[in-house]
């Protein structure tokens, strides 16, 4: 009996010893990153490579683990809930609409002290880029990805409809849509599913064109909001039958398969014209500034865009883990790494990076567009300053498209959501 007890005790002792030894030996810091740059996202490959390289260089001391989040909306919703509960991940990719909430929560790591202690970020960011991202001296998120959303159009479809140039005003644009439709194709890719992303970009363009780049400071009573909805109402006469309820995959899929002639999205979509588009699509794509509304307060060639994703980290109690996170964030902002990301995906970044000379033609055209643009106005989702109003937009748009409300009624729906 005693022998049996001793045997069992020795087994327990050995098991405990192994556990203690292994926990002491594995002083490796694990950083979790719920990332949206996975799956079909154009940055997936290079982000994966950068993480692997970082993990290899820091083997045994730091390990970055990615939690794949393929749905951008669900990711933002999850993050919203995590901000409320205070249970933030180690690293996160934050959209512009959540920056204010993240800062107010006080649960994000303040990156400002790390800017002062190491010249890296001051060296790689343009002057004032970091300072302007601070609130009350606190940097809750590192500005990272930039975007503009010009029109991309299929030159072949437009040529078949008799157009060599993309129209610069909405009167001519809708005439062109009429011609495209008569030719058996669909003019625009639209969507009201999820956050209504691609349609929201069109609305933002029309809004800035009607009310000027500072439209969001003028309030929802400004007539530009109604005028922009009038444009959208017409736009939905020239779109696919599944646009109401469609998500970005459906909206983009139509353009990638040459079912629609005109599409609007950010530069990160450039790589997908080649990877997911039908053969030869990329060569047929043209880039143009959005059309203007006659008599509007905007200027020709005006773009919409701004800060897209920022990198943030949850507040840490362990200084070693904080250092490890900062080290990884610095790795992501090394100009060479940023250039690799930009080159492979077409995405634009705030970090000063020497881009290769053979960057994608569309990327160069978009960059040129920004340089020539009189302004880059915020998109509706970020500029309106209310998550509730931004979230009501797809419902207001679908009500408008279905003839359930007038443009004035659609604005009322937005006001009602406040």
Partner 1 sequence: MKIKKDEVGWLLLFIAPTLILFTLFFILPILFLLASSFTNWDGIDAEFVGFENYIKLFNKKSFVRAITNNLYWCITAALITVPLGLIIALLLSHRSRGWKVFRTVLFVPQVVSSAAIAMLWAAVFNAEYGLLNFILDNIGLSDYKNHNWLGNVRTANAALIGFSLCYVGYFMVIMLAKTASISEDYYDAAKIDGASQIQKDFYITAPLIKSTFFLCIILAVIFNLRQFEYVYLMTAGGPANKTQVLVVYIWNELTVQRLGRGSAAGVIMIALGAMLLLLLRRLLKSETYN
In the complex, minimum distance from the CB of residue 291 to partner 1, in angstroms, rounded to a whole number: 26
Interface with partner 1 in residues 41-80 (CB under 8 A): 76-77, 80
| Binding window for partner 1 (CB under 8 A); candidates: 137-145, 225-233, 299-307, 383-391 | 383-391
Nearer to partner 1, 246 or 324 (CB): 246
The verdict on 394 binding partner 1 (CB under 8 A) reads yes
DSSP 38: -
Choose which of 218, 364, 399, 415 interacts with partner 1 (CB under 8 A): 399
> How far does CA 354 lie from the centroid of its chain?
22
Between CA 347 and CA 47 the distance in angstroms is 12
In the complex, minimum distance from the CB of residue 394 to partner 1, in angstroms, rounded to a whole number: 6
Query: What b/e string do you get for 277-295 counting C-beta neighbours within 10 Å, with b at 16 or more?
Result: beeebbebbbbbbbbbbee
**# residues near partner 1 by CB under 8 A:** 36
Fill in the per-residue mask, 76 to 105: x = in contact with partner 1 (CB under 8 A), - = not in contact. Answer: xx--xx-xxx---------------x--xx
Between CA 285 and CA 157 the distance in angstroms is 10
In the complex, minimum distance from the CB of residue 58 to partner 1, in angstroms, rounded to a whole number: 34
In the complex, minimum distance from the CB of residue 398 to partner 1, in angstroms, rounded to a whole number: 4
Backbone angles phi, psi at 33, to 5 degrees: -135, 100
In the complex, minimum distance from the CB of residue 228 to partner 1, in angstroms, rounded to a whole number: 18
The verdict on 138 binding partner 1 (CB under 8 A) reads no
Helices (H), 118-266: 120-124, 129-132, 155-160, 170-182, 197-211, 223-235, 248-256
List, in order, residues 6 or more apart from 16 with CB less than 8 Å away.
Answer: none
Cβ atoms 240, 186 nearer than 8 A: yes
Q: Which residue matches tokens 């609305």?
A: 203
The verdict on 181 binding partner 1 (CB under 8 A) reads no
| Binding window for partner 1 (CB under 8 A); candidates: 48-56, 165-173, 188-196, 221-229 | 188-196
Q: Closest by alpha carbon to 80, among 286, 409, 387?
A: 387
Between CA 411 and CA 18 the distance in angstroms is 65
Fill in the per-residue mask, 223 to 252: x = in contact with partner 1 (CB under 8 A), - = not in contact. Answer: -----------------xxxxxxx------
User: Contact positions toward partner 1, by CB under 8 A?
Assistant: 76-77, 80-81, 83-85, 101, 104-106, 192-194, 240-246, 386-388, 390-391, 394-396, 398-399, 401-402, 404-405, 416
């Amino acid at each position: 009996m005693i022998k049996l007890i001793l045997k069992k005790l020795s087994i327990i002792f050995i098991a405990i010893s192994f556990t203690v030894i292994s926990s002491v030996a594995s002083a490796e810091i694990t950083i979790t990153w719920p990332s949206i740059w996975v799956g079909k996202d154009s940055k997936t490959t290079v982000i994966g490579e950068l993480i692997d390289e970082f993990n290899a260089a820091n083997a045994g001391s730091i390990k970055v683990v990615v939690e794949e989040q393929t749905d951008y909306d669900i990711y933002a919703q999850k993050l919203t809930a995590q901000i409320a509960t205070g249970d933030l991940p180690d690293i996160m990719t934050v959209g512009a609409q959540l920056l204010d909430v993240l800062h107010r929560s006080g649960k994000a790591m303040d990156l400002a002290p790390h800017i002062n202690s190491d010249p890296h970020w001051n060296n790689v960011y343009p002057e004032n880029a970091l300072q302007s991202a601070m609130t009350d001296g606190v940097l809750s998120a590192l500005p990272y990805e930039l975007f503009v959303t010009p029109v991309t159009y299929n030159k072949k479809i437009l040529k078949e409809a008799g157009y060599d140039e993309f129209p610069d005003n909405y009167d001519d644009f809708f005439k062109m849509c009429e011609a495209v439709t008569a030719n058996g194709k669909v003019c625009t890719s639209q969507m009201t599913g999820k956050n209504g992303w691609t349609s929201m970009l069109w609305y933002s363009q029309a809004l800035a064109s009607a009310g000027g780049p500072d439209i969001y400071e003028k309030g929802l009573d400004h007539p530009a909001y109604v005028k922009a909805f009038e444009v959208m109402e017409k736009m939905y006469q020239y779109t696919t039958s599944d646009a109401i309820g469609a998500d970005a995959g459906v909206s983009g899929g139509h353009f990638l398969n040459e079912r629609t002639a005109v599409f609007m999205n950010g530069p990160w979509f450039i790589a997908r014209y080649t990877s997911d588009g039908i053969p030869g699509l990329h060569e047929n794509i043209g880039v143009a500034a959005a059309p203007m509304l006659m008599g509007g307060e905007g200027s020709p060639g005006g773009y919409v865009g701004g800060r897209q994703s920022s990198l943030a980290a949850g507040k840490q109690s362990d200084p070693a883990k904080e250092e490890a996170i900062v080290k990884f964030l610095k790795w992501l902002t090394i100009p060479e790494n940023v250039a690799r990301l930009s080159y492979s995906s077409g995405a634009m970044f705030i970090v000063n990076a020497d881009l290769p000379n053979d960057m994608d033609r569309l990327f160069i055209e978009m960059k040129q567009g920004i340089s020539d643009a009189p302004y880059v106005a915020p998109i509706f989702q970020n500029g309106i300053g209310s998550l509730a109003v931004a979230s009501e937009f797809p419902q207001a748009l679908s009500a408008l498209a279905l003839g359930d409300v007038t443009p004035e009624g659609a604005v009322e729906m937005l006001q009602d959501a406040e």
